[in-house]
Each structure stands twice: as C-alpha cells, then as structure tokens.
Copies of this chain bind each other. A is one copy, B any other.
Amino acid sequence: MKIAFLGTGVMGKSMAHHLMNGGHSLIVFTRTRSKADDLVAAGAEWADTPALAAADADVVFSIVGYPADVEQIYFGEHGVLAGAQKGSVVVDMTTSSPDLAIRIADQAHSAGLLALDAPVSGGDVGAREARLSIMVGGDAAAFERVSPLFDLMGKNIVYQGSAGSGQHTKMCNQIAIAAGMLGVCEALAYAEASGLDPDTVLKSIANGAAASWSLSNLAPRMLAGNFDPGFYVKHFIKDLTIALESAEKMGLNVPGLTLAKEMYEKLAASGGEDLGTQALFTLYKGA
C-alpha cells in the first residue's frame, strides 16, 4: 500500500520503519525535516505539507505532540483533509482528545474519507520492538483494512468502538496509571522515612496485591535517582488534562485523577516537565 506518515519523532520514526520493512511505500512529512532524514535515506519520499503527503496515499498515519498539532495537521490550510483522496483512511495515533477525534471523523466523512483514532501505549521501546498496544476507535470497515498495518507496529490491537473510542480507552489507561503513581511514590517515601531499606521492601511487596507495572519498573529508577524520561512529565500532564476535561464533560467525579494532575503540575512548575514520570518521587523526597 501507499502510506503517508506524518510525524517522525521518537515514536513515529520506529513505526514508519516497520511499515517500510513490511513492504509498503512511504511518503513522510514532519515539522522538523531533519527528523525524517534516515527514513528518506531508507527510501521514503518526502512531502512538503501534510496535504501533499496525503494526496497519493491509501492510508494516512499521524503521530504528533499535542491536540493543537493534530488540528493543524488535519484542518490546516495544507492539512490532511485538504489533500487526501476519496476512499482513503486517515489514522491519528497521537494521544489526543476524544472530541477532536470525533471532529476529524466527521470532517473526514464529509470529504469521503474513513477515519480511525488509534493512540498507542508501550513507549519508545514498544515502538522500536513493534510491541505497541494500539487502542482503536472509528469506522469498523477502516479498522479491517488497516489491521495488517497495525500488526506491523504493535502486538495488542483492540477495536474499541466508534470515533473517539480509541482516545477514551487511552484515557482509561492514563487514569489508572496516574493515581497508581501516587501510591508507588508514597509507599517508597514511607519506606525511606521509616528507616526501612526500600529495595528490601520491594522484595516483600512487588509481587503481591500491591504489584503493578509502575512498582516493578519505575520504583527501582526512583530509588536509583534515575529520572530520565521514559515518558515525559509534560506529555503525561497533557494526557491527564485531556482526561480530566473529558471526565468533567461527562459529569464524572475523579478525585484521584484530579489529585495526580495537581501533583504533576506542581512537579512541572518546579522544573520537572522534561523529566520522566517517575520524577514524581522527588516531590515526596523534598517534603
């Protein structure tokens, strides 16, 4: 298939390579052209705008930073919807707002296109190893058509329902993580404050009812003082903001999410926005 890929950052670059390695021809666009250099060197075509990239494509993938970037790439003067051919499928894989996913789908339908929202989890490692979890909403027929391409990028690919459902599912994922991070940080802070050896505490608690991915994977980094970004604080705040706004629109009270967002904003305000999410622990150390 002829595929347009928009956004070749840390995630997108690996995903685009997998699609090329799967035998598909790629045309790429990204804001900072140098970030597409090695894809172009590997045989991808370069397009100067999203519209030009989409013009010949059967499927258009995008994975960029913020909802505002998604809006620009889809609705801008030289955006995807201005260029995509009738019958093609547009797939936004950015973690973005469910409402925006619905707006894209509506406008795509008006233009004779199909649309999917398909945010991922699994991070840069998951992208590199083609082991992403892909949460998909939108046109069921489009999901069938795009599935072989998703299979090249991920392992756990689940169709969740109509437009916006992929984004809503990703919000569920982030909501579950958010309050859980408070629990992990507070357990470790308590361990240190009470004079325990936190590494020994992990031997007791990491595999029982307190077990979590965060406790197994992020707690050791917290204790080692390694706050390098696996997942950026600033991106997590973006996600939590979308989730909270979305919950508020639905009239849903989510005090754990509200608290977690406040804590992460406090961390960002104190200079931590470019650290990894495990840096939340520093707020407790400083207490």
Task: List the interface of chain A (C-beta within 8 A of B).
Answer: 98, 121-123, 133, 135, 156, 158, 160-161, 164-165, 168-169, 171-180, 182-191, 193-197, 200-201, 203-205, 207-215, 217, 231, 243, 246-247, 250-257, 259-260, 263, 284, 287
**Cα(A212)–Cα(B187), bound, Å:** 15
The distance from the CB of A33 to the nearest CB of chain B, in whole angstroms, is 31
> When the two chains form their complex, are residues B200 and A172 in contact, meaning their CB atoms are under 8 A apart?
no
> When the two chains form their complex, are residues B256 and A183 in contact, meaning their CB atoms are under 8 A apart?
yes
> When the two chains form their complex, are residues B204 and A169 in contact, meaning their CB atoms are under 8 A apart?
yes
**Cα(A215)–Cα(B205), bound, Å:** 16
> When the two chains form their complex, are residues A259 and B255 in contact, meaning their CB atoms are under 8 A apart?
yes
A204's partner among B160, B183, B194, B250 (CB-CB below 8 A) is: B160
- A246 neighbours in B (Cβ, 8 Å): 190, 194
> When the two chains form their complex, are residues A172 and B195 in contact, meaning their CB atoms are under 8 A apart?
no
> When the two chains form their complex, are residues B194 and A168 in contact, meaning their CB atoms are under 8 A apart?
yes
> When the two chains form their complex, are residues B253 and A287 in contact, meaning their CB atoms are under 8 A apart?
yes
> When the two chains form their complex, are residues A123 and B161 in contact, meaning their CB atoms are under 8 A apart?
no
A sample of 12 cross-chain residue pairs with beta-carbon separation below 8 angstroms, ordered by A number, consists of: A121-B205, A121-B210, A133-B208, A171-B194, A172-B190, A172-B210, A179-B256, A180-B184, A182-B255, A183-B256, A186-B247, A208-B213
> When the two chains form their complex, are residues B160 and A172 in contact, meaning their CB atoms are under 8 A apart?
no
Most buried by B among A123, A135, A187: A187
A252's partner among B98, B176, B189, B207 (CB-CB below 8 A) is: B189
> When the two chains form their complex, are residues B201 and A169 in contact, meaning their CB atoms are under 8 A apart?
yes
The distance from the CB of A169 to the nearest CB of chain B, in whole angstroms, is 5
> When the two chains form their complex, are residues A197 and B161 in contact, meaning their CB atoms are under 8 A apart?
yes
A173's partner among B122, B197, B210 (CB-CB below 8 A) is: B210
Q: A169-B196, A172-B190, A183-B178 are in contact. Are A156 and B252 (CB under 8 A)?
A: no
The distance from the CB of A42 to the nearest CB of chain B, in whole angstroms, is 29
- A98 neighbours in B (Cβ, 8 Å): 194
Most buried by B among A121, A133, A175, A191: A175
> When the two chains form their complex, are residues A186 and B133 in contact, meaning their CB atoms are under 8 A apart?
no
Q: A123-B209, A175-B186, A190-B172 are in contact. Are A196 and B165 (CB under 8 A)?
A: yes
> When the two chains form their complex, are residues A204 and B133 in contact, meaning their CB atoms are under 8 A apart?
yes
In this complex, what residue of B is CB-closest to A162?
B195
The distance from the CB of A237 to the nearest CB of chain B, in whole angstroms, is 16
> When the two chains form their complex, are residues B183 and A179 in contact, meaning their CB atoms are under 8 A apart?
yes
**Cα(A284)–Cα(B250), bound, Å:** 13
- A176 neighbours in B (Cβ, 8 Å): 183-184, 186-187, 205, 210, 212, 215
Q: A168-B190, A175-B183 are in contact. Are A208 and B253 (CB under 8 A)?
A: no
A205's partner among B172, B201, B203, B208 (CB-CB below 8 A) is: B172
- A191 neighbours in B (Cβ, 8 Å): 168-169, 172
